[in-house]
Amino acid sequence: MQFLTFIGFTALVAIISYYKTRNTEDSSSDGYFLGGRSLTAGVIAGSLLLTNLSTEQIVGLNGSAYQSGLSVMVWETLAAIAMVVTAMFLLPRYLKGGLTTVPGFLAKRFDVTTKTLTSVLFLTGYVVVLLPVILYSGSLAISGMFDVPELLGVTHTQSIWICVWGIGIIGSIYAVFGGLKAVAVSDSINAVGLLIGGILIPIFGLLMIGDGSILDGLNTLTTENPEKFKSMGGPADPVPFYTIFTGMMLVQLFYWGTNQQIIQRALGAKDLKEGQKGLLLASFIKILGPIIVVLPGLIAYHIFEGNLESADSAYPELVREVLPTAWVGFFAAVLFGAILSSFNSVLNSSVTLFGIDVYKQHINKDADEKTVVKYGKTFGVILAIAAMFIAPLIANAGSLFDYLQEINGIYSIPIFSIIIVGYLTKRVPALAAKVGLLSGCLLYILSQFIMQPYFVNKALESAKTAGVTDEVALALVETQAYPHFLDVMAILFALNVLIMLIIGKLKPREEAYVQEYTKQVDITPWKYTKQTGIAICVVVIGVYIYFA
């Protein structure tokens, strides 16, 4: 019965997506890569949310909440402010320039080499880290939910390979052969299911704690675990509160404002009004995100009395504990949709970057749009197959969520710094952007993968020599031995910008850069953008003050 429910809901999403997109013109770049620049606010908001929300986040953040409490909600709440900034500052500039890819702006502002370097950085991050992590974490969830090893009579490792290839093939069909509109439509349907299913887990959990009363359950949870309900993280928490004012905001602005995988949804807007409304709608819903990705972790801590062997098992264990059997198939289908969404969104963005920024630019400059789309699709298939082979091999990568955040820093801050400098200055030259990209990447690698292990190991050895054996004390020593990776990002961002400005002063562009309006879409802003944006920011600040 569970399996039939799963198949039924998944098939329904596929049929609706096909029906909605069967007449979409996808032989042109805009048609295939940006859904014909026809996306409306609701579709953009749904696609943004589901692209972001996947198993590595649902499982990973709830695991962090189980361990460290409410303070990890910063990954959700601060995203709302980042989307407001994107809607007000970045999106009008993107749509004015008629961009298909974010690196496309860099070609106009700096030069083609800068654009190509940025595209290659994005693609490398997607292929080596993001796609395999999405596939692996999703396969863990699906394999566990349906107990695939027992169902098919295979080993755990074999079940992971089966699930990886199942998710990969279905995701590839959406992304490679359907284009952005098929991805966005399927995302919007799944977003509704994920919101319903995601909210049901904490509801059933609170009903269990409160003996049939949600309010009693919430009251019991907060009064018996007050230490878990503090919005401001301490020095030993995954996200100390002060990092909100250092690297956290930069990470959020990069992710929601310049990451091709995400911003491509807004670039496909039919006009600026729809794009801004879509971003702000997603921003408001994002404030409610902790109900799905943080609260279940806190409920699991209470129900299991903090005795689970692994924090990352908190969410799957809670689902098995509180969800009625009849709902399991539906919830698995929704989760499957979330996994597919993240996978096919990254894949579609990779196809876009390769087709526009690599194939058309360097391999076949005379290619017509139909040829660009064709070879982009071929690259997408190769990329998907490579990710499916790599995914099962990262089983020993440690905490997937932390691994993702830290590795992404290699390319996120350098790319974000050159885009910001590109928009805010008029005479900083292409040389500065190239130096910024290379120095940012190399300095981050030097800091996080050479210097940090050295200083942390040295501090731990000194502590143990001094007779410190308590695990909590050693964890504190470890966190204080070297700056938090978010602080390192802030330092390197400031350094990158400074280097670029100095080069701009010494060797400025001959002519000041002026952005042209390509008139591909109407860029009249939504008249309530500022008021809505301010209201969202006030709500976020209010949430922090309330839980402080």
CA 308 to chain centroid, in Å, comes to: 27
- Radius of gyration, CA atoms only, the chain: 23
For 269, phi and psi rounded to 5 degrees?
Answer: -65, 145
- To the nearest 10 degrees (0 to 180), the angle between helices 131-146 and 2-21 is 140
| Token reading at 385 | 């197959």
Residue 521 counted as domain residue: no
Residue 284 counted as domain residue: yes
Q: How is residue 154 annotated by DSSP? A: -
Residue 227 counted as domain residue: yes
| Distance, CA of 536 to CA of 217 (rounded, Å) | 28
Of the candidates 420, 439, 434, 432, which has an alpha carbon nearest to the alpha carbon of residue 507?
Answer: 432
Of the candidates 88, 60, 100, which has an alpha carbon nearest to the alpha carbon of residue 535?
Answer: 88
Average pLDDT, rounded, for the chain: 82
Task: Answer for the pair 74, 327: CB distance below 8 angstroms, yes or no.
Answer: no
For 324, phi and psi rounded to 5 degrees?
Answer: -60, 145
| pLDDT (tens digit per residue) in 201-230 | 999 999 999 998 999 999 999 899 888 888
The CATH number given to whatever domain includes residue 206 is 1.20.1730.10
Alpha carbons within 13 angstroms on the beta-carbon side of residue 87 total 33
Angle at the Cα of 191 from the Cα atoms of 216 and 141, rounded to 5 degrees: 75
Of the candidates 164, 171, 170, which has an alpha carbon nearest to the alpha carbon of residue 140?
Answer: 164
| Token reading at 41 | 């606010």
| Distance, CA of 401 to CA of 336 (rounded, Å) | 18
Torsion of CA 110, 113, 115, 116, to 10 degrees: 180
| Distance, CA of 116 to CA of 284 (rounded, Å) | 35
pLDDT of residue 33: 47
pLDDT of residue 302: 92
Of the candidates 312, 317, 489, 469, which has an alpha carbon nearest to the alpha carbon of residue 402?
Answer: 312
Q: Is 1 exposed, middle or buried (0-12, 13-18, 19+ CB in 10 A)?
A: exposed
Task: Answer for the pair 202, 279: CB distance below 8 angstroms, yes or no.
Answer: no
Alpha helices in 242-313 (DSSP H): 247-257, 260-267, 272-287, 290-293, 295-303
Q: In whole angstroms, how far apart are CA 92 and each of 86, 262, 266, 410, 529?
A: 9, 16, 10, 27, 12
pLDDT surpassing 60 at residue 24: no
Indicate the pLDDT class of residue 250, thresholds 50, 70 and 90.
Answer: very high
pLDDT surpassing 90 at residue 2: no
Residue 208 counted as domain residue: yes
Q: Which residue has tokens 């290699």?
A: 410
Q: Which residue has tokens 């292929």?
A: 127
Question: What average pLDDT does this structure show over 288-311?
Answer: 87
Q: Which residue has tokens 């050295």?
A: 454
| pLDDT (tens digit per residue) in 257-283 | 988 778 877 888 888 999 999 999 999
| pLDDT (tens digit per residue) in 343-383 | 777 777 777 778 877 888 888 888 877 787 778 778 888 88
Alpha helices in 34-155 (DSSP H): 41-52, 55-68, 74-85, 91-96, 102-109, 112-125, 131-146, 148-152
CB atoms within 10 A of CB 159: 23
Residue 505 counted as domain residue: no
- Tell me the sheet residues that pair with 39: 269
Residue 363 counted as domain residue: yes
Task: Answer for the pair 544, 80: CB distance below 8 angstroms, yes or no.
Answer: no
> What does the longest C-alpha to C-alpha distance in the chain come to?
72
- Is the overall model pTM greater than 0.85, yes or no? no
Number of domains in the chain: 1
| Distance, CA of 103 to CA of 115 (rounded, Å) | 5
Question: What average pLDDT does this structure show over 223-249?
Answer: 83
Question: What average pLDDT does this structure show over 246-267?
Answer: 86
- To the nearest 10 degrees (0 to 180), the angle between helices 272-287 and 260-267 is 130
| Token reading at 283 | 């921003």
Q: In whole angstroms, how far apart are CA 280 and each of 75, 244, 287?
A: 17, 21, 11
Q: In whole angstroms, how far apart are CA 492 and each of 204, 438, 456?
A: 44, 12, 20
Indicate the pLDDT class of residue 178, thresholds 50, 70 and 90.
Answer: low
Return the SS3 of 66.
helix
Q: Which residue has tokens 């890569």?
A: 33
Residues 6+ apart with CB under 8 A from 183: 47, 174, 175, 341, 344, 345, 348
Residue 211 counted as domain residue: yes
Residue 544 counted as domain residue: no
For 425, phi and psi rounded to 5 degrees?
Answer: -125, 165
| pLDDT (tens digit per residue) in 29-49 | 455 445 556 778 888 888 788
> Range of 93's domain?
2-399
CA 82 to chain centroid, in Å, comes to: 13
